[in-house]
């Protein structure tokens, strides 16, 4: 596996028919499922690890975001990646940088509302990575459901001509969606965090038992989340038939979602 740190080397190492998996590193099985899927569907796979400063607000966890590049390198290699692109922030945003990509509608609610500027940062970085790597297909997790929708829209709007592949959420045995941020949780908080997936599963069950009213289902999720004293709800919302939640467990903000349709 080739490890690349500069934009110019990445541009000259590109090849047709590449699969691409953008990440912020501290890889877990969720990321690896995306990498393996890309490896199985493409001639070559590039993974990026870039903790993108522009998508973090000043009061967020950019500086403390978990990092372990050595471990990530060996995990990418084992998963079959051909290229690992790990640029520094200066490489992606050199002095004088002033062009940003933003969406007007899809970013209004949910995480876009709770984290102003977040998706502008995500889209700017992803658009740059798309231009630098020029993949045929790019793989994103359904765990970040609004991000997936936003990236699909941006890709269509800006005619990137890249196939965007949404991949299922990988979970811990107790149901907690895997996330690099789970590393922040104390043992007690880790136990409490299972309330996210449990409350979503509960809504799905109610739906399977005949409840079709999305507001009643969202209320049920809220009530269930409120039974956990360590959980503080940021939002319980929906995008069509997907119920999406963001919940603070202590200072750690976790997200999850479930599709209640067929
Ligand atoms: P991140 O490193 O958190 O920015 O995530 C990089 C990519 O991995 C994004 O497309 C995420 O949606 C995806 N991802 C993160 N966690 C999971 C998970 N538990 N299951 C599937 N994909 C995930």
From 167, 190, 215, the end of a domain falls on: 167
The per-residue pLDDT for 261 is 83
Residues 62 and 28 reside in one and the same domain: yes
Residue carrying structure tokens 């004088």: 96
User: Is residue 196 classed as helix, strand or coil in its secondary structure?
Assistant: helix
CA of residue 247 to ligand 1 center, whole Å: 17
What is the mean predicted confidence (pLDDT) over 197-208? 98
What is the mean predicted confidence (pLDDT) over 198-208? 98
Domain count of the chain?
2
Answer yes or no: is pLDDT of 86 > 70. yes
CA torsion angle 118 69 97 57 (round to 10): 30
Strand duo 18-23 + 44-49: pairing: parallel
User: Is residue 227 classed as helix, strand or coil in its secondary structure?
Assistant: coil
Return d(Cα 34, Cα 89) in angstroms, integer: 24
Answer yes or no: is pLDDT of 262 > 70. no
From 135, 167, 199, the end of a domain falls on: 167
Q: Which atom of ligand 1 is closest in space to residue 147's alpha carbon? A: 12
19 lines ligand 1 (CB under 6 A): no
Residues 61 and 114 reside in one and the same domain: yes
Return d(Cα 46, Cα 58) in angstroms, integer: 30
Helix intervals (H) in 83-213: 89-92, 110-114, 118-133, 145-157, 187-192, 194-208
pTM score: 0.98
């Amino acid at each position: 596996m080739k490890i690349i740190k500069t934009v110019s080397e990445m541009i000259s190492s590109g090849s047709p028919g590449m699969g691409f998996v953008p990440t912020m590193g501290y890889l877990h099985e969720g990321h690896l499922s995306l990498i393996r899927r890309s490896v199985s569907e493409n001639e070559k796979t590039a993974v990026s690890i870039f903790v993108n400063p522009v998508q973090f607000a000043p009061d967020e966890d950019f500086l403390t975001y978990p990092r372990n590049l050595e471990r990530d390198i060996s995990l990418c290699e084992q998963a079959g990646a051909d290229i690992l692109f790990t640029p520094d922030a200066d490489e992606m945003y050199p002095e004088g940088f002033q062009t940003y990509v933003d969406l007007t509608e899809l970013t209004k609610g949910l995480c876009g509302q709770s984290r102003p500027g977040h998706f502008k940062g995500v889209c700017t970085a992803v658009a740059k990575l798309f231009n630098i790597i020029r993949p045929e297909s790019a793989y994103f997790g359904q765990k970040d459901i609004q991000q997936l929708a936003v990236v699909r829209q941006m890709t269509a709007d800006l005619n990137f001509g890249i196939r965007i592949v949404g991949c299922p959420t990988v979970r811990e045995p107790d149901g907690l969606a895997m996330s690099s941020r789970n590393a922040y949780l104390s043992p007690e908080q880790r136990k409490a965090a299972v309330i996210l997936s449990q409350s979503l599963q509960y809504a799905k069950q109610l739906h399977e038992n005949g409840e079709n009213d999305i507001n009643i289902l969202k209320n049920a999720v809220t009530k269930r989340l409120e039974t956990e004293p360590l959980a503080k709800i940021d939002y319980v919302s929906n995008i069509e038939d997907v119920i999406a939640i963001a919940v603070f467990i202590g200072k750690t903000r976790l997200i999850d979602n479930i599709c209640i349709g067929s």
